[in-house]
Amino acid sequence: MGNDRELLASLLRHLSTTFKIRDLGTPIFFLGIETIPVEGGLLLSQRRYMDDILNQAGMTDCKPLSTPATLTQATSLPTELFKNPTQYRRLAGAFQYLTITRPDISYAVNRLCQFMHAPTDEHWGFLKRVLRYVKGTLSHGLRMSSSPSLDIHAYSDSDWATVDKKSTSG
């Protein structure tokens, strides 16, 4: 994808000398991710996938929420083990794929996945909260926009400055 058709055609010709490729045209729907043209770029959306997750959970008509997790941590004693851990694991795994276009749920999904070995009723309640948040944010996605700069910017919440480079090399 790009805004210079001549450059794209040249790149495709060059790639085709080494690889067997086909130009499928403008991407619309690929691996469950829909590309929606918006002003100044594209929105990558998994709305159909979100609808499928809500349907699998039987929560298509649930009340939506505006946050995926509570701000305070529950301090209650562990509750009973959830009676259907397979359903919990299936939905938590589905959330993992959803984080491709929904980084806003990454923290909540990470927390859910930490309890896959033995989810409790409390964990199931937290998973349902994330489902209700997804229900309220079906139109959210990952926006990609053009930039006049050729610089690549990436962000991470990891603190790599504290890694001792001498201890990691050989």
Token reading at 98: 């959803």
Helices 121-136 and 106-113 cross at an angle (nearest 10°) of: 160
Digitized pLDDT (tens) for each residue of the chain, 170 residues in all: 677 889 888 988 899 999 998 877 777 888 889 999 999 888 999 999 999 999 999 999 999 999 888 766 555 566 799 999 999 999 999 999 999 999 999 999 999 999 999 999 999 999 999 999 999 999 999 998 877 787 877 766 655 554 444 444 44
Whole-angstrom distance, CA of residue 54 vs CA of residue 131 = 7
Amino acid 8: pLDDT: 83
